[in-house]
Amino acid sequence: MDIQLIVKALKRSLPVISLLFFMLPSTLNAQAFCALRDPAEAIQKLYPQSSTYRSVVRTIDESVRQEVSAKVPPHALHFSELGRHTLYMVFQGDNPMGYVHVRSEQSEWGLVEIAWAIDMDMKIADFTFQRCRNRYKSTIESDSFKNQIKGKDFEQMKALLVAEQFTLRTDALVVEPKAVPLAQVLVRCGIKTLLVTELAWREEIVKNELLDTARSSFSNTVDIEMVSRPVTTQVLSSLNNEFDGASPGIDRSSVSLAKVLDDSGAILGAMYRGEVNIDRKKSAIIWAVAPDGEVINIVNRSGWQQNATKQAFESNVGKKFTTGTQCSDRTQLTTMEAVLTAQPIFVVN
Amino acid sequence: MSNTKAFQRLAGLFLLLALSSATKADSYMGRMVDSAADNSRLALDFSSRGSHLTKQDPIAYTHALGFDWLTVISDDKKDIGTLLLQGYLTRLHNTQMFPGFFQDEDDTEFVYRIFNFNYTALPGNLPNIRIGHMEVPYGLEHVINTNGTLRQYAQPKNLGIKADWGVSLNKQHKEFEYEVAATTGGGQSLDRQDGSYVFSGRVGSPRDENFSYGVSLYRSKLKNLQRERLGIDARYHIGLHGIFAEMSLGQNGDIEIRNAQVEWNRINRRENITGFTQLRYFSAEQASGRYADTLDGSIGIRYSPDNSWTLSSQYTRDIDTAAGADKQSVFSIQVRYRYFPLNRK
């Protein structure tokens, strides 16, 4: 082999290489797209009753990476985890059953690829390894281990690890000692999956939450239509008048609103979703409101922290809220805000 | 038919798709077009390869500039199909060993790599239907994509073709996966060449398992030569190591053919470095009834420092040649850069 020839070749390629170096940075994996495949077998395993699934591709970008770093500092996303990723929405007939998201986590044995089933309330429903070269894979996939993970939400998964660390809390899970390293990888991956899914696919998740709750609140619900700017200047002005410029505590930047439609397209009601700090936890609460202002349903999809809070909110169901003077506690004030924000939907109708 | 005509046909198809986007946005077709836009992944792909063949001067170059576009078309509740289009303007310079769709060693052609639509909306256990330019489903190549990379398996030498225009039925089940294809044998051309055809198929266990295997069947007529093959392949992963093997038996016309290949590879924990070594054995029956055996080996490495760049190098050498032919060796280096211009929601 003539070294001079190689040097000559590299010299010739140099202008092209230099030009490429100046190009913008990218956000995807270096492999060609023909290597990407749907996790069809995993979806069948995780949701045996499912009939179809739909891919939703979104970008996990620097803003998501920063939010993950802020919320779970030890679990920052590596740059190779950024780029276009797919969330699979799984259906049984017309009804959404949940989601599947596949994430890779670095380990001592190369990348471990896990397909996560997430239910409509953003809790772990199940998981399966797409690829794992650790010999304790079957231990972690056993029912006895899985049952300790199923049903956990982001906060509960986070609580399995020693705060701000990668290590599993000794009392968190029952697992044989040799399988602990893989269990740690799994929990870390689960934490990131729940958080990243919520951040990157928020729009789709909120819509599904509202549709699911609408179906249990209004019979004849066929679809919902999201309202693009729910808190308009007009709504804000009416809220300020009603509450004298104060706020009952709903984070107005988090509000989502949807019209509930029957098969003819007529509006059956409205679904309002807002994030509220209750019982020292930020919770997303959904109100179903009828066109006459009657509250049809109030749901906290992540579960109420205290029974008293649940009862206080649910006591507002069946009531109509028209003025702030009717309100004697915070549950009624937040309900009043939901009803007032939803009202313009029915006026337009 | 020429590549130009093939391209015109496809352009017409995509024009129809584009026109459908003009339908009102809330129509069924409009929603599918929206989903194709939202689910789109696009990369511009540049690669430059230099290869030095024994006793040959100067170095052979292959430069490729192309696009890699993948999207999923969906309606409200299900995926309809996956569209994957890869087209590359490919320039050869002093490349003595070139595929048949190039005119000579200094040619430039527009090359289709994978260019197909896989319809996935049939219910239950019914298969997906792929139409377009696809890899011939056979052996290890069906599981490990090597398009545009230095690392290759024996597909072109064994089967006479690597990718072709046609139609296939395919599906992944929990316990097994399969793809069965009927293609024209035209390679880059949509049309059959002198009555060419290719039938091929592979049934295998799920490829994501640490041990997976498959059985392949192949029958073709290419350049008036009829080939038949029966192949088995297997992959075993243990920790960071992988051992892959493939073996085929069959005939080229009346000549008995036996071939085999084995690969050992190792990745690092981040999986951005892959090292591999391969041995390939090819044996053809002679008129005397004896077999002429050839054996060659490769050693290579691939390094991806980030999401865009891939640097790879490979050295291939003949270990044993038939009838005392000269032993050749090839040393190759490739730089590949993928740029992602779209950054949608």
User: Is residue A18 assigned to a domain?
Assistant: no
Asked if pLDDT for residue A163 goes beyond 90, the answer is no
Q: What is the pLDDT of residues A164-187, one digit of tens each?
A: 777 889 888 999 999 999 999 999
**How many CB atoms lie under 10 A from the CB of residue A311?**
11
Phi and psi (nearest 5°) for A160?
-75, -20
Among residues A200, A219, A253, the one where a domain terminates is: A200
Residues of the domain holding A300? 208-348
Give the DSSP letter of residue B59: -
A-chain residues near B308 (CB < 8 A):
25-26, 28, 30
B-chain residues near A226 (CB < 8 A):
none
A316 and A182 fall within a common domain: no
Q: Which residues, 6+ apart, have CB-to-CB distance to A155 below 8 Å? A: A281
**In chain B, which residue's Cα lies nearest the Cα of A43?**
B174
Q: Which candidate, A113, A106, A55, places its Cα nearest to that of A84?
A: A55
User: Smallest CA–CA separation between A340 and chain B, in Å?
Assistant: 29
User: Is residue B300 assigned to a domain?
Assistant: yes
Comparing B344 with A63, which gets the higher pLDDT?
A63
pLDDT of A20 reads 43
**In chain A, which residue's Cα lies nearest the Cα of B272?**
A30
A136 and A259 fall within a common domain: no
Distance CA B199, CA B220 (A): 6
Q: What is the pLDDT of residues A86-133, one digit of tens each?
A: 999 999 988 899 999 999 998 999 999 999 999 999 999 999 999 999
For the record, the structure tokens of A318 come out as 């069946």
pLDDT of A330 reads 83
CA dihedral of A312, A315, A247, A252, whole degrees rounded to 10: 100
Candidates B49, B340, B342, B345: best to mutate against A (most CBs of A within 10 A) is: B340
**In chain B, which residue's Cα lies nearest the Cα of A42?**
B174
Q: How confident is the model at residue A242 (pLDDT cuts 50, 70, 90)?
A: confident
User: Is residue A6 assigned to a domain?
Assistant: no
**How many CB atoms lie under 10 A from the CB of residue A137?**
18
Q: Are B238 and B145 in contact, with CB atoms under 8 Å apart?
A: no
Q: Do A16 and B269 touch (CB under 8 A)?
A: no
A142 and A214 fall within a common domain: no
For the record, the structure tokens of A114 come out as 């896990």
Distance CA A151, CA B318 (A): 58
A-chain residues near B40 (CB < 8 A):
57
**In chain B, which residue's Cα lies nearest the Cα of A113?**
B208
Q: How confident is the model at residue A264 (pLDDT cuts 50, 70, 90)?
A: very high
Q: Do B145 and A55 touch (CB under 8 A)?
A: no
**In chain B, which residue's Cα lies nearest the Cα of A11?**
B50
Mean pLDDT throughout A276-301? Answer: 90
Candidates B82, B111, B307, B337: best to mutate against A (most CBs of A within 10 A) is: B307
Cα distances (angstroms) measured from residue B316 to each of A55, A311, B333: 41, 74, 12
Q: Which residues, 6+ apart, have CB-to-CB distance to B59 below 8 Å? A: A5, A6, A8, A9, B50, B51, B52, B94
Q: Are B60 and B52 in contact, with CB atoms under 8 Å apart?
A: yes
User: Smallest CA–CA separation between B285 and chain A, in Å?
Assistant: 34
What are the E-state strand segments in A119-240? 124-131, 223-226
A-chain residues near B41 (CB < 8 A):
28, 33, 36, 57, 84
A-chain residues near B135 (CB < 8 A):
34
Distance CA B32, CA B26 (A): 10
Nearest to B77 among A13, A54, A133 (CB): A54
Number of folded domains that form chain A: 2
A162 and A48 fall within a common domain: yes
Residues of the domain holding B115? 3-339
Give the DSSP letter of residue B324: G
**In chain A, which residue's Cα lies nearest the Cα of B210?**
A133
For the record, the structure tokens of B10 come out as 């496809």
Nearest 5°: the CA angle B319, B329, B301 is: 95
Among residues A200, A225, A242, the one where a domain terminates is: A200
A241 and A193 fall within a common domain: no
Asked if pLDDT for residue A151 goes beyond 90, the answer is yes
Q: What is the pLDDT of residues B74-119, one digit of tens each?
A: 998 899 999 999 999 999 998 887 888 888 888 999 999 999 999 9
pLDDT of A21 reads 39
| Long-range Cβ contact pairs of B267-271 (< 8 A, separation 24 or more) | B267/A110, B267/B240, B267/B242, B268/A110, B268/B240, B269/A106, B269/A107, B269/A108, B269/A109, B269/A110, B269/B240, B270/A80, B270/A106, B270/A111, B271/A110, B271/A111
A116 and A42 fall within a common domain: yes
User: Is residue B274 assigned to a domain?
Assistant: yes
Nearest to A45 among B39, B174, B335 (CB): B174
For the record, the structure tokens of B285 come out as 């029956």
pLDDT of B10 reads 61
A167 and A247 fall within a common domain: no
pLDDT of B26 reads 57
Q: Do B76 and A54 touch (CB under 8 A)?
A: yes
Q: Are A275 and A254 in contact, with CB atoms under 8 Å apart?
A: yes
Mean pLDDT throughout B272-295? Answer: 92
Q: Do B38 and A57 touch (CB under 8 A)?
A: yes
User: Smallest CA–CA separation between A326 and chain B, in Å?
Assistant: 42
Q: Are A291 and A269 in contact, with CB atoms under 8 Å apart?
A: yes
Cα distances (angstroms) measured from residue B218 to each of A156, B182, B230, B250: 53, 10, 7, 9
Number of folded domains that form chain B: 1
Instruction: Name the residue with tokens 């066929």.
Output: A222
A169 and A266 fall within a common domain: no
User: Is residue B344 assigned to a domain?
Assistant: no
For the record, the structure tokens of B100 come out as 């048949």
Q: What is the pLDDT of residues B118-145, one digit of tens each?
A: 999 999 899 999 999 999 999 999 999 8
User: Is residue B345 assigned to a domain?
Assistant: no
Q: Which candidate, A248, A251, A293, places its Cα nearest to that of A270?
A: A293
Q: What is the pLDDT of residues A5-31, one digit of tens each?
A: 555 555 555 444 444 433 433 333 467
A-chain residues near B112 (CB < 8 A):
none
What are the E-state strand segments in A151-289? 223-226, 250-261, 267-278, 281-289
Q: What is the pLDDT of residues A302-342, one digit of tens each?
A: 888 899 999 999 999 998 887 666 777 888 889 999 999 99
A-chain residues near B337 (CB < 8 A):
20, 23
A166 and A53 fall within a common domain: yes
Among residues A200, A221, A236, the one where a domain terminates is: A200
User: Is residue A246 assigned to a domain?
Assistant: yes
Q: Helix (H, G, I), strand (E, B), or coil: what is residue A10?
A: helix
Nearest to B174 among A44, A51, A109 (CB): A44
Q: Are B313 and B334 in contact, with CB atoms under 8 Å apart?
A: yes
Distance CA B79, CA A169 (A): 41
User: Is residue B187 assigned to a domain?
Assistant: yes
Q: Do B78 and A53 touch (CB under 8 A)?
A: yes
Q: Do A106 and B269 touch (CB under 8 A)?
A: yes
Q: Do B70 and A33 touch (CB under 8 A)?
A: yes
Cα distances (angstroms) measured from residue A256 to each of A43, A195, A275, A287: 29, 19, 10, 11
Asked if pLDDT for residue B65 goes beyond 60, the answer is yes
Mean pLDDT throughout B256-271? Answer: 95
A70 and A187 fall within a common domain: yes
Q: Do B340 and A109 touch (CB under 8 A)?
A: no
Distance CA B205, CA A119 (A): 29
Percent of all residues in chain B with a pLDDT value above 70, rounded to a whole number: 91
User: Is residue B49 assigned to a domain?
Assistant: yes
pLDDT of A24 reads 39
Cα distances (angstroms) measured from residue B285 to each of B217, B219, B282, B320: 20, 19, 10, 16
Q: Do B58 and A5 touch (CB under 8 A)?
A: yes
Cα distances (angstroms) measured from residue A65 to each of A69, A72, A199, A271, B150: 6, 10, 10, 31, 33
Q: How confident is the model at residue B190 (pLDDT cuts 50, 70, 90)?
A: confident
User: Smallest CA–CA separation between A248 and chain B, in Å?
Assistant: 32
Distance CA B192, CA B182 (A): 12
Q: Is B4 exposed, middle or buried (0-12, 13-18, 19+ CB in 10 A)?
A: exposed
pLDDT of B217 reads 98
Q: Do A130 and B69 touch (CB under 8 A)?
A: no
- The chain-wide mean pLDDT, for chain B, equals 89
pLDDT of A3 reads 52
Beta-bridge partners for B236 = B211, B243
A42 and A186 fall within a common domain: yes
Beta-bridge partners for B109 = B90
**In chain B, which residue's Cα lies nearest the Cα of A114?**
B208
Cα distances (angstroms) measured from residue B176 to each of A28, A46, A297, B135: 30, 17, 46, 19
pLDDT of A321 reads 80
Q: Which candidate, B259, B206, B257, places its Cα nearest to that of B235?
A: B206
A-chain residues near B118 (CB < 8 A):
none
Distance CA B307, CA B310 (A): 8
Among A214-223, B167-176, B323-332, whose mean pLDDT is lowest?
B323-332
Omega into A39 within 30° of 0, i.e. cis? Answer: no
Q: Count of CB contacts below 8 A, A vs B?
A: 176
Asked if pLDDT for residue B30 goes beyond 60, the answer is yes
B-chain residues near A53 (CB < 8 A):
78-79
Comparing B99 with A156, which gets the higher pLDDT?
A156
Nearest to A32 among B48, B145, B307 (CB): B145
A192 and A61 fall within a common domain: yes
CATH number for B227:
2.40.160.10
Phi and psi (nearest 5°) for A20?
-65, -35
User: Smallest CA–CA separation between A130 and chain B, in Å?
Assistant: 6
Q: Which candidate, A106, A33, A25, places its Cα nearest to that of B309?
A: A25
